[in-house]
Structure 1
């Protein structure tokens, strides 16, 4: 084989590997307690299948009571994402979901809420508590209007991991999540 043939074979092999990697995205492994529950469906005899389901559901309930298993529906997941908006975390598989849903979710790229309280930090900077308890701080001064409890605020993701906050009709200022 010539050097050109080796390069061609390597390129084809790489292309096939890349295509296979795109075609089948890796799935998150499911907890054993859940897969054991699913295995009960494969039992043919009704009484044994029911006994298996009863046993596995009892195990799952006990694990849930010990906080070893947490079950979230989409609404609860959305609420959790919204609560954590503004914090930097490593990629957590249980918060990911599919990319299209994340792009569409209002709570993922921006939040719009009401200011619960404000604290003057001096030099035109403010610490702002939102109605859900989240604490944000302006990193540049607010010049035109003093923020007050009851005003609406919209905080959105900006470039390079930063956030911009706009209080009512004032100009947007850089902000960071502090609590």
Structure 2
């Protein structure tokens, strides 16, 4: 299923589909769907041509973004734990929330603080343990979940859960 996210911030030159149909403020995708109600074949085709041209122009200019739900979820999974520097409109995509990340430890290194480690997962993400704990072993399963107030807790193998932060 493809999801269309965004709005036209600046309408293209000429008459928009919303204006043509007397529906000011209508989203461009809704205008295409509204064309289905035209009974006359020629009028329906003209409506589809007009509204699809508006959408094509908006996509080309970057005012309308088309996203695939699977790609949104994948992007969120890859950026899980990182500060959201680029808050794209993917925040509003239903069913695309990522609240936990599971992985396998690939490498472990000691931090400058005794008892604290940085572990790297097979997906190339790196997490720093914020509490003194035994180091995780390579190939050990990890489940990282988001907790209240923006923190993250990692359950490493059968050990106790520890607070972590994403390094990269």
Compute the displacement of 1:113 (Å): 1.2
Within the candidate set 138, 158, 161, 1:172 is matched to 161
The CA RMSD over aligned residues, in Å, is 3.2
> In structure 2, how many angstroms separate the alpha carbons of the residues matched to 1:134 and 1:67?
30
> Alpha carbons of 1:77 and 1:39: their partners in 2 closer, same or farther (altered >3 Å)?
same
**Contact 1:112/1:152 (8 A) holds in 2:** yes
TM-score (norm 2): 0.65
> Alpha carbons of 1:33 and 1:173: their partners in 2 closer, same or farther (altered >3 Å)?
same
1:50-73, Cα deviation, whole Å (9 max, x unpaired):
132133324323433443322223
Within the candidate set 53, 56, 64, 1:61 is matched to 56
Structure with the bigger percentage of strand: 2
Q: Does 1:80 align with 2:75?
A: yes
Unaligned runs of 5+ in 1: 1-27
Q: Whose radius of gyration is greater, 1 or 2?
A: 1
Higher relative contact order, structure no. (Cα contacts within 8 Å, ≥ 6 residues apart):
2
Structure with the bigger percentage of helix: 1
Count of aligned residue pairs for this structure pair: 144
TM-score (norm 1): 0.61
Compute the displacement of 1:154 (Å): 0.7
1:114-160, Cα deviation, whole Å (9 max, x unpaired):
234433213222223333333321112232x4443x33211012343
Unaligned runs of 5+ in 2: 9-26
